[in-house]
Every structure is written in C-alpha cells, then in structure tokens.
Chains A and B, each alone.
Chain A
Amino acid sequence: MRNEKTTEEVALGIRRRVFEHSMRNNGGYLSQACSAGEQLAWLYNEELKLGAPTLPMIPKDFAGVPSAENTEYHTGAGYNGPAAPEFDRLFIAPAHYALVAYATLIEVGRMAPEGLEMFNKDGSSVEMIGAEHSPGMEVHNGTLGIGLSTGAGLAYGRRLKGDAGRTWVFMSDGEVQEGQTWEAVQAAAHHGIDNLYAIMDVNDQQCDGAMDSVMEVGDIKTKFQNFGAACIEIDGHDLNAMRDAVNEKHDGKPLIILARTNPFHSMPILEERFPRLHYVRFKSEDERARMNESIAKDLGVDPIDYAH
C-alpha cells in the first residue's frame, strides 16, 4: 500500500490532528507529535512493508479482554495489514504515543478520521494508553520497557519460520532507564537477530521533565553498541537521515536508530512549558487561546474553534 502524500505532508497532518485534538480536549500528548511526527510518518508512509488493513476504517467498540470465552477476540494489528510472512510488523512500545500513532493511521489512510473522535471515550477501543485491542497495536506496551524484548522474540520466531518481513519497534528514550531494554539488546545481539529494527524518539523528556534532571542515561549510542546492537544517531526531523540510517549494515545485530528530536519542533510556543512537556494540559483559558493562535499559524491551519 503506497500513499499519495509525501512523508512531509503526513508528518504535518499528524501534527495538525494531534493539535486539534489537544485543543478540543484542553490538553494531550501534544509534544510527542512534535518529536515523533517524522518517525511515524516515515515508517508508515515509506519504510514499512505492510498489507492493506483488515479491520474496519471506523474502529469497532471495545469487545472484551482476552479469555477462553471471548472467542471473537482480536488485537488492533489488522490496521497494519495482515500478519503475512512477507510483511513487516510494528510495535509502539511507549503506549502513551497512541494519540500520535492513531493520527498517523488516519493520515496514511488506514483508519477513518472518526477513529480519533473515539479517543479515550468510554466503551471505545481507541484507548488513551494504546491497548493491544486498539487500532494499530498488537501487544500491550503501557508498562514501558517490554516492547523491544517482545519484538526480539517475534523477530527470532519469524526468522525460524523463514519470514522475509522485519519486526520494527518504535521506542521512547525513557525506556533506556528500564533494565529490561538492555537485556533485550543483549539477547538480540547474542542470537544475531538482525531482522529486528528499532527507532527511538530521543526527545530527552520523560514524565518528570528533562531526562538529565530525572535520571541521567549518558551516551546511549555507545551503550547500545557495547551491548551488541548496531546503533546510529540521526536528526529525528531529517527524513533523508532516516532513509540513510536504515541502510546501515548490521549483519548479526539488531539495528537501533536514535532519532534525536526537539519536543517542541514545529510548535515553538510549547517551549514555554519546558521542561514539563510529557502531557500538556493548558493551565488557563488565556494560555489555551494563545497556544491555539500560535500553533495554528505554525501548522498553517485556522485556530481550532474548541468552544463548539
């Protein structure tokens, strides 16, 4: 499936949607659209080899958690197409990026815009913290740091079966604080799992603020390399750098792309909120109105009429 839009247009579309949503809801995971817009746009619009969606454009309601009785249960992976041997798979490891991921699905024509209206509504499958039944999700990742391990296992299993498709994990930099991330790299390197790919949004942000002030993680590129991964660092807003990075040779090793990003890229007014950008809730009507004006202008749209 190829999209007619350029990847730049998709990234802009993602930001416009997340912006509109956040304005209407008086807050949201807005900064993650700034930092990760290009990464998700690039994955879905260019890099991932995915089949046509197998689930309805307008997401179904929540249909129960997995259990022996719930025979109709399925995950939201069908928005990424069928799990066929030749296709790639993608996990969104930091599940709070779901809003940005849903906006991406819409931009690349895999989900209807109505899907975003269902975000965080009771009874909807379009959950705030992406669940495995949410559009585009295949496993639960709301407990951070487990995504890369699952990805490594899936990649290895697919290699044993002879699948040509790759397994991709979109990660966040907060995840490097969890020990499990390093165990995942260690195992992937030990078993030579080179059909495993990760791109990490290195926005230097976490819940409490700038990562350096919360828990320093140091030179993560060198750390990843020392743990046995091929690791390359790029400007996460530079699409050509992404296109080049994925061609890095990594025989016998997983490839990890560190996308260094700006948490207020394309919405400079958000810098006012630095260093607390994890969840932007407008502090006053005045702030909301000012941000509305300013960001709308940056994104080339009309301010959002959020009163209605």
Chain B
Amino acid sequence: MVEMVSRPYASAFEKFAAGNKDILCLSADLTSSCEIDGFRDRHPEQFMSMGMAEQNMLSFAGGLGLAGFRPFIHTFGVFMYRRPYDQLMASIAYPRRKVRLMGFLPGVTTPGGMTHQSIEDISVMRSIPNMTILETGDATEVESICEAADSIDGPVWCRVLRGSVPRLFDTPIKVGEIRELSSGDDILVVTSGICTEEAMRARSALQKAGLSIRHLHLHTIKPFDSKALLDHISSVKHGVVTLENHVTEGGIGSLVAETMADAGVGKRLVRLGLKDTYAHGGSRPYLMRYYGLDATAMVRGIEDLMGQEFGITESDLDTARVEDVHSLVKAEAL
C-alpha cells in the first residue's frame, strides 16, 4: 500500500526557506491554495502578498533577483506564464534571474477547466533559453523541489503537486538525472508527473502478461541528458511510449522524439498525452480517462506499438492500482 502524504509542499517549503534571508516567498492571492499559508503566518518577514496581479509579480520578482534575492513565486502554474509571458521573458529568463516559479495544479489536476489547466507550459518553457524545468511526480519529489530548484544558477519552472500526494520514490530529486523504475528490454516507457503512477499500474499488469518494460521517470525536463536516454532506447527491442499530463506537442513526448531524430534512432515512438486539444472541467480521474492520460491509455499505447492485444481489462488495472492512492472525493474548491 502506498503512503499518502498530506500537503508535502507546505512543510518542505517552510523547512527550506524559513530563516534564509535571501529567500522571499511571493504569492498572488492563492496563498492557501499553494500551501504557503502557514509560512505566511509564521514568517511574515519573508512573505510578500502581491495580490491578483501576476504580470507585476513576475517583473517584481525579476527586480528582487537583481537585488540579490532568490524569490520563490507561487500561484497556479497557468497564471504564471500565460498572461505574464512577456514579463517572464524580459524580466526573468533573459537576464537569468534566480527566480523559482512554483506552478501548482499542472495539467488536468484542476477541475477548473481551460483557464486553470496549464497544458502547454512545458512546451513553452522548453523553448525559452536559460530556463530549467522540473516536474514533481510524488511526495518525495515535492519535498525536495525547493532544494533542487534553488541549486540552479538561473530561473526554474516547477510543476508542483499539492494536497494528498502518493509517495512513490525514496530518494530526492537529483537535477539532471533520470529515474529508472524498472529495467526491461521489450519496451521503453517514459513518463513524468502524475502520469508516472498511471504507467506503474499499467506496467504491473503488462509485466504479468509477459512484457518486459523499462520505465523511466523524468523530474528534470530541461536540461536533459540525451545520452542516458539514448542508452535506454538502445537496450529495448521494440520502441518507446511516452505519457504526459500535457499536450503531446512540445512536452516530454517531443523531447524524446527530438532526441531520437537527432541521433538517427529508427525505433517506433508512441506519444500519449493531450492530443492537440484543450481540456474541460472535471475530476482528475475522469479527465485522465477522457483525454487518455491514464493506465488504460498506456496499455493501449503499448498495444499499438506492439501490434498485439494483451487482453488487459479495467479490473486488471484496478487490482494493479497503487492502492488507496486517491480518495475519489471530487475537488470542490480551487
């Protein structure tokens, strides 16, 4: 049974930042939604309320960076790059300010619909020179995201999970490394964020069906160790399947595709994720099913790649469920 950790970011951020005078915590009117309300109350001298004014917050953080501070800025990911994209570029990315952009509710983890779902942020961030991109997939990664981000000499985009988060890993994020979760030689599966847990469910069902799967989890999306990935690709027979909580254009599926093309690798690649579509509002399990981001989608993707059906049913996947991971209680608020 998987351990569920409640609000891992809240305690991790406080432990990391409290008393470190070079670190300032900025919030854009989503303080408890980003789990920094306790920090605000206990460390008001390091907390800045910026109101619902994200464009200003981004350039302001750039100015703090210029003054020698390392601001951690908090809001829902979507509000941190769509409207204030120009500010992100001019005030933060170009001058390489040490601003840590903590983006909550990545992809379809929010019921708030299109305006709340950051589905193309990785694509955008990958194309910004000087940007580092980290994504959390479990509680241990959330607990180590602050140290990891703050180790970077430049701006860092982080996809942060909140609320009740499963613990899948027992070692912290080591920036630039790839986690190898299983080492098989038929197929390579590459996932990130919440999709890793889904792939783990699919993997255990497929392994029972006799397929040997090599599974990699990416917490560091940029910079990226293409050499390590190519080694993994060359050790599987059939090809690669990627799954991400993001559109398939520009995310980790594209990252893998580019890596393969650059090296002239001739294996097949199946990219799973949001297929050139917006999403709508709904619970996370429902949206993951609807848009093909879940374990079932992974099984179908692998079947497509193998040209073979494995007869895996929903109930096989349910028993392979990373137990009790999510209460099915619907998020009622943001």
Contact = CB atoms under 8 A, between A and B. Distances in A.
Interface of A: 25-28, 62, 65-67, 95-96, 120, 122-123, 127-129, 131, 133, 140-145, 174-175, 177-180, 206-208, 213-215, 279, 281
12 contacts: A122-B330, A131-B280, A131-B281, A140-B115, A143-B79, A143-B82, A143-B116, A177-B29, A179-B53, A206-B29, A215-B52, A215-B53
A65 B280 contact: yes
The secondary-structure label for the interface of chain A is loop
Contact of A128 (B29, B55, B111): B111
Contacts of A140: 113-115
Contacts of A127: 111, 113, 280-281
Interface in B177-235: none
B83 interface: yes
A136 to B, nearest CB: 15
Interface string B25-62: 00101111100000000000000011111111000000
Contact of A65 (B54, B278, B282, B334): B278
Given A208-B27, A279-B333, A281-B332, A131 B55 contact: no
Contacts of B33: 207
A196 B55 CA distance: 26
Most buried by B among A122, A127, A206: A122
Contact of B53 (A27, A178, A207, A281): A178
Contacts of B115: 95, 129, 140-143
Contacts of A120: 111, 281, 330, 332
Nearest to A180: B83
B286 interface: yes
A117 to B, nearest CB: 14
A144 to B, nearest CB: 6
Given A122-B283, A143-B82, A207 B277 contact: no
B112 interface: yes
B279 interface: yes
B29 A207 contact: yes
Contacts of A65: 114, 277-280
A303 to B, nearest CB: 21
Contact of A177 (B51, B83, B112, B278): B51
A62 B50 CA distance: 36
Contact of A122 (B31, B53, B112, B282): B282
A180 B283 CA distance: 31
Contacts, number: 109
Given A142-B114, A143-B78, A179 B49 contact: no
Given A177-B51, A208-B30, A215-B29, 5 more contacts: A65-B114, A143-B82, A143-B83, A143-B116, A174-B52
Residue with the highest number of chain B CB atoms closer than 10 Å, among A133, A174, A178, A180: A178
Contact of B52 (A66, A141, A178, A213): A178
A174 B51 CA distance: 8
Nearest to A124: B282
A137 to B, nearest CB: 11
Contacts of A67: 277
A66 B281 contact: no
A215 B30 contact: no
A22 to B, nearest CB: 10
Contacts of B78: 143
Contact of B333 (A143, A177, A281): A281
Nearest to B55: A179
Given A179-B56, A215-B53, A131 B29 contact: no
A66 B332 CA distance: 25
B53 A142 contact: no
Contacts of B283: 122
A27 B333 contact: yes
Interface string B52-94: 1111100000000000000000000011001100000000000
Contacts of A180: 83
A214 to B, nearest CB: 5
B263 to A, nearest CB: 34
Contacts of A66: 278
Closest 5 CB pairs of A and B: A215-B51, A142-B115, A122-B286, A127-B281, A65-B278
